């Protein structure tokens, strides 16, 4: 029997970070785990909002978001990233999308509107499955004029201030593909390495925003190449 969905529960989170004209994010904590998570909000070309990951917001932050645009889409990167997806759908009326490779599994848990691959094309935001990953988790590509920002789920992480047991498991210590992801969620390391290298070569690459870790604006291309080389 499926577990009941988690209701809209606001846990402590940081103020909204406004990275660019069409790109905001909010950092909070994974419920019950001493591990950070980040929700990214993208304003699409029609003015509606797309969320990558879901973090319930306190009222003042939520009002900022609602004043910025109408919530429309929530992208679930894979089945382990949907803890607050149903609450978002119920409260904000967003439609849920996830990777095609996990469609059956996602539909068993959530009322999926479609796959990420079926999202209408938009010049502000596009997604592509990370090559060599078992779930086909999507990387988001946000365009703001000539600037490009990349949104990652778990393939790229840069978690900070972690307890000892998580550092012992290989989390932390700078941007990387963490050991757990390499061993459990990767099917072809060479393909994943090549995808990171392709992303590093994107013209106008300005910023990396991971779900787990801070936004990075210093040498994002070089960072991705170093991450790729260590896979």
- Summarised one tens digit per residue, pLDDT across range 24-64 is 999 999 988 888 999 999 999 999 999 999 999 999 999 99
Q: Please say whether the beta carbons of 109 and 6 come within 8 A.
A: no
The helix (H) or strand (E) run that includes residue 208 is strand 205-210
φ/ψ region of 58 (left if φ > 0, alpha if ψ in -120 to 50, else beta) reads beta
What is the C-alpha separation between 77 and 195, in angstroms, rounded? 17
With a cut of 50, say whether residue 163 has pLDDT above it. yes
Q: What is the pTM of this model?
A: 0.95
- Compute the mean pLDDT over every residue in the chain, rounded to the nearest whole number: 95
Please report the pLDDT score of residue 3 as a whole number.
62
With a cut of 50, say whether residue 1 has pLDDT above it. no
Which top CATH class is 17-229?
A: alpha beta
Q: pLDDT digit string (tens) for 199-230? A: 999 999 999 999 999 999 999 999 999 999 99
When pLDDT is averaged across residues 132-159 and rounded to a whole number, the result is 97
The secondary structure of 81-127 as a DSSP string is G-TTHHHHHHHH-PEEEE-GGGHHHHHTTS-EEEEGGGSPP-TTEEE
The secondary structure of 33-69 as a DSSP string is SS-EEEEEEEE-TTS-EEEES-----HHHHHHHHHH-
Q: Of 211, 177, 178, whose CA–CA distance to 196 is shortest?
A: 177
């Amino acid at each position: 029997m499926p577990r009941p969905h988690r209701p809209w529960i606001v846990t402590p989170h940081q103020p909204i970070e406004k990275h660019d004209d069409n790109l905001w994010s909010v950092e909070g904590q994974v419920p019950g785990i001493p591990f950070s998570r980040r929700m990214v909000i993208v304003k699409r070309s029609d003015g509606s909002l797309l969320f990558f990951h879901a973090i319930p917001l306190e009222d003042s932050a939520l009002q900022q978001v609602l004043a910025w645009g109408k919530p429309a889409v929530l992208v679930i990167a894979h089945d382990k990233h949907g803890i607050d997806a149903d609450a978002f759908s119920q409260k904000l009326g967003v439609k849920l999308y996830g990777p095609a490779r996990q469609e059956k599994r996602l539909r068993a848990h959530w009322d999926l509107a479609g796959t990420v691959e079926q999202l209408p094309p938009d010049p502000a935001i596009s997604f592509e499955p990370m090559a060599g990953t078992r779930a086909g988790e999507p990387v988001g590509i946000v365009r703001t004029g000539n600037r490009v920002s990349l949104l990652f789920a778990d393939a790229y992480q840069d978690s900070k201030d972690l307890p000892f047991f998580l550092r012992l498991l290989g989390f932390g210590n700078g941007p990387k593909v963490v050991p757990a992801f390499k061993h459990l969620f990767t099917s072809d390391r060479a393909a994943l390495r090549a995808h990171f290298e392709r992303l590093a070569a994107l013209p106008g690459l300005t910023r990396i925003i991971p779900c787990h870790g801070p936004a990075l604006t210093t040498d994002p291309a070089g960072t991705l190449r170093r991450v790729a080389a260590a896979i």
